[in-house]
Amino acid sequence: MFHNPTEYYDEIALAEFTAWLYKTKKPPSFVNKLTKGTQKSINELIPEKVHRVITFAIENMVKAVLSGTRFITPHPFPAFSLEQREEKVRKVIQIYTRAASAEGAITGAGGLLMGLADFPAFLSIKMKMLFEISASYGYDVRDFKERLFMLYIFKLTFASQETRNTTIDIIENWGEYQEKFPEGLEAFDWKTFQLEYRDYMDLAKLAQLIPIIGAGVGAIANFKLSGKLAETAMQCYRGRYFDWDAVR
C-alpha cells in the first residue's frame, strides 16, 4: 500500500507534539517549588539597576509587539504541507539561535554594563524569531491576535510550572480565548509576565554579568534559551495545525 511521505512526517510530528504536551502539563513538583525559592533568593542579590533594565525592556517589548511597531512583519509563508513549513522554520531557528549566541558572547565579555545591554537585545532577537516562525506556519503577524498568541508562547516558555499550566490552557483553547481579549496593551498582563520572565532568566543569566567567564556563559545561555523558545513555538503551532482536540 502506497503511503504519502507527508503522512509519515505528520505522524512523527504529531507523536512529538503529544509527548511535548504531556510533559508540559504537569503539577508543580517539589523541585519546581525549590527552584522558585532559589530564584527569589538570587533575585535579591541582583542590583536594582539590573531589575529596572529588565522591567523597562520587557514593558517596551510587549508594547511594541501588541502595537505592531518596531518589528518587521514578514508575510505568511506559502506551503502545501507541514513538512515544507517546518523546513523553513528550522532555517529560521538556526539563524536566530546563532545570532543570540553571538550576541550573548559579545555582551557577556564586557561584564555588568554590557550584560545589562544584553537583556533588551536578546529580547528583540527572540521576538524577531517568533515573528518569523509564526509567518513560516502561514499566520499573518499583522493580525493583533496572532501577535498576542506569540506573547503567550513566550510566557509559556519562560515561566514557573504553575504559570505554564494556566498558560497552556489558554493556548489550547485559543479560538475561544481570543474572542474575549480587548485590543491594546490591557490584553496582556505584562507586569506578571515580566516578573516570571525575570525570575526564570536570573538563574540562567546571572553569571553572564561576571567579567571573563561572562562571554562563555552568555553564548551558551542565549543559545539554549532561544532554542527552548523555538521548540515551544513549534509545538504550539503544531497544536493549531493538528487541532488540539484531536490529541486530548
What string of DSSP letters covers 27-60? Answer: PPPHHHHHHHHHHHHHHHHS-HHHHHHHHHHHHH
pLDDT, residue 118, reads 61
- Distance between CA atoms of 164 and 196, rounded to whole angstroms? 10
Distance CA 103, CA 16 (A): 30
Residue 137 phi, psi dihedral angles, 5° rounding: -85, 5
φ and ψ at 113, to 5 degrees? -65, -45
Q: Is the pLDDT of residue 83 over 90?
A: yes
Nearest Cα to Cα of residue 205 among 132, 112, 71, 140: 112
Per-residue DSSP letter, 81: S
Q: Supply the pLDDT for residue 1.
A: 44
Q: Beta-carbon neighbour count of residue 46 at 10 Å?
A: 15
The structure's pTM equals: 0.84
Higher pLDDT, 28 or 172: 172
Reported as a pLDDT band with limits 50, 70 and 90, residue 191 is confident
Task: Count Cβ atoms within 10 A of the Cβ of residue 103 and give its class: 0-12 exposed, 13-18 middle, 19 or more buried.
Answer: buried
pLDDT for 98 beyond 80? yes
- Helices then strands, counting H and E runs in the chain, come out as 10, 0
Residue 80 identity (one-letter amino acid):
F
Cell of 105: 558572547
Structural domain boundaries of the chain?
5-247
